Amino acid sequence: MLTITPIPAFTDNYIWAISTAGENKIAVVDPGDAQVVENYLSDNNLTLAAILITHHHHDHTGGVAELMAHRDIPVYGPSDSPFKGSTVKLRNNDQFELLGNTFSVREIPGHTLDHISYWVNNGQSQLFCGDTLFLAGCGRLFEGTPKQMLQAMDYFNTLPDNTEVYCTHEYSLANLDFAAAVEPDNNDIQLTIQRCKQLRQQNKPTLPTSIAEEKKINPFMRTQHESIVHAAGLFSAKKPHSAVEVLAAIREWKNQF
């Protein structure tokens, strides 16, 4: 079973450190900043065994070259990517073994065209989803389409409810403010706001979230729900005729929120 620890970076990034009991080796996900990783390794007497990349944005890849300058370890990442630092290039449905666990790869374009996620299901279901799924939100559509983002949300909806969701930014309270505007009568959103505010007041991460939680509070995971369809129609001033149109409307609403 994997233990996941956040390494804070920049203003709101988390670099996830993945470890197993009794081992002094770790893998890290999306190391945008090499120095905070090096500090974490030295402070905890750990060895870096691998790097996992979800997409090419610099705040997810900027530390890779420095971390690899004196190491010969695998860098897992999307095969067709502007980021050329990966040594193991991954495609949809690929699997690999790391730290005694099987990681399953899913292509989830939308935020970027090269975006992938990593899913582990070994006693505990755990998802590393970069900037695609957030607590109560989804990533901006910088390169992909609403249809692609909806397909990613549909995939996440198929994962076990107890799946721990490890995204890469502390965006939760801002996302929850928007979710509450979309669904003002959703009590689960209000309860999550209270919980997340308490965590942030204690300077603790609001993550991980879970698939079960996101099914209750995340408008981008709830595009079939009548309350979301109605809100999307009010924003766009026309009735949406598909889940893609619902997601497109609420994503544009979030952009302006």
Structure tokens at 92: 């949809």
The pLDDT of residue 12? 98
**Is 2 within 8 Å of 22 (Cβ atoms)?**
no
Q: Tokens 């929120």 belong to which residue?
A: 257
The SS3 assignment for 156 reads helix
User: Residue 85 burial by CB count (10 A; 0-12/13-18/19+): exposed, middle or buried?
Assistant: middle
Section 68-78 average pLDDT: 98
Residues 115 and 91: their CA atoms lie apart, in Å, by 10
DSSP assignment, residue 240?
-
pLDDT band at 55, cuts 50/70/90?
very high
Q: What is the pTM of this model?
A: 0.97
Contacts for 54 with CB less than 8 Å, ≥ 6 apart: 29, 30, 60, 77, 78, 115, 116, 117, 118, 128, 129, 130, 131, 132, 168
- Distance CA(69)–CA(31), nearest Å, equals 14
pLDDT of residue 60: 98
How much of the chain exceeds pLDDT 90, in percent?
A: 98
Q: What confidence tier does 1 reach under pLDDT thresholds 50, 70, 90?
A: confident
CA distance 17 to 21: 13
For residue 115, what pLDDT band results from cuts at 50, 70 and 90?
Answer: very high
CA dist list (Å): 208 to 67, 74, 130, 135, 187: 25, 25, 12, 8, 20
Give the pLDDT of residue 21. Answer: 87
Which residues are bridge partners to 137 per DSSP?
134
Mean pLDDT of 35-62: 98
Q: How far apart are CA 75 and CA 88, in angstroms?
A: 6
pLDDT at 22 (0 to 100): 86
